[in-house]
């Protein structure tokens, strides 16, 4: 049980657990399992096999989710948690760092020819949607439940054509290390969020957010600066 250490205003403050926990290397048999799966199945069949274990709560389900994801991903680190319901598309384009947490029902939606890198110790909350066309998330990032990262948008030109039939503009999304993105936030194509910044819940981020900033609103605006090394940045 977490020990209460301080209280400021309503609620209470307790020590962080996930980001500070010890990270052990995965046992060798897990890497052996992934290698065996790659020998036994073609990638499409392996992705289909994943569905059998995607939603289960048991130890074997969790093991198989990790094993299949590791077999298919460009990189898959040690100590990754893949919760029930978490899914992927084109995992061969995705590199996942050590200790990443992928929450219940989250979807990492890779694209043909795309690239996605998720830094170590990043926490992806339940129900998140990551459009991984051109996505880089730094280490130690927190994505609250229901965060949506969008990597493309229709040009909507010419005006006489159905919007969904117009060309797509694909633009990279970059989220700096140590940032925290509040629940339900939407991050639009081409946005860069600086390191150690905070984005309030429910924001719509359409323009860049600088490092050590606190932003909120629709559209998101910087409302204050955080302190770095004892001074305001």
Of 228, 231, 160, 218, residue with least CA distance to 187: 218
For 36, the enclosing helix (H) or strand (E) is: helix 28-40
Q: What contacts 90, CB < 8 A, 6 or more positions away?
A: 109, 110, 111, 112, 114, 132
SS3 label, residue 199: strand
Whether 90 is catalytic is no
On whether the CB atoms of residues 103 and 128 are closer than 8 A, the answer is: yes
- Among residues 22, 90, 109, 154, which one is catalytic? 154
Measured in whole angstroms, the distance separating CA 202 from the mean position of its chain's CA atoms is: 17
- Strand duo 168-170 + 152-154: pairing: antiparallel
| Nearest one of 118, 115, 92 to 106, comparing CA atoms | 118
Instruction: Compute the Cα dihedral for 161, 162, 163, 165 and give only its sign.
Output: negative
Examine residue 219 and say whether the peptide bond preceding it is cis (omega within 30 degrees of 0): yes
Compute the CA torsion angle 204, 172, 102, 72 (nearest 10 deg).
Answer: 150
Work out the number of other CB atoms within 10 angstroms of the CB of residue 126. Answer: 17
Residues carrying an active site annotation: 154
């Amino acid at each position: 049980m977490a020990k209460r250490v301080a209280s400021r205003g309503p609620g209470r403050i307790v020590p962080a657990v996930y980001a500070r926990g010890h990270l052990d290397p995965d046992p060798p048999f897990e890497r052996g399992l992934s290698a065996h799966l790659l020998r036994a199945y073609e990638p499409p069949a392996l992705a289909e096999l994943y569905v059998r274990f995607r939603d289960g709560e048991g130890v074997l389900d969790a093991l198989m989710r990790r094993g299949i994801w590791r077999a298919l991903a460009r990189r898959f680190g040690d100590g990754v948690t893949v919760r029930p319901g978490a899914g992927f598309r084109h995992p061969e384009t995705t590199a996942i760092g050590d200790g990443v947490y992928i929450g219940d029902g989250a979807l990492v939606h890779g694209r043909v020819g795309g690239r996605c890198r998720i830094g170590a110790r990043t926490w992806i909350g339940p129900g998140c949607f990551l459009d991984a066309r051109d996505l880089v998330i730094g280490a130690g990032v927190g994505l609250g439940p229901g965060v949506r990262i969008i990597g493309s948008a229709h040009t909507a030109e010419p005006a006489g054509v159905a919007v969904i039939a117009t060309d797509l503009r694909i633009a990279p999304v970059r989220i700096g290390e140590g940032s925290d993105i509040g629940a339900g936030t939407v991050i639009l194509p081409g946005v860069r969020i600086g390191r150690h910044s905070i984005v309030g819940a429910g924001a719509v981020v359409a323009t860049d957010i600088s490092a050590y900033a606190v932003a909120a609103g629709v559209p998101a605006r910087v409302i204050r600066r955080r302190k770095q090394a004892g001074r305001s940045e």
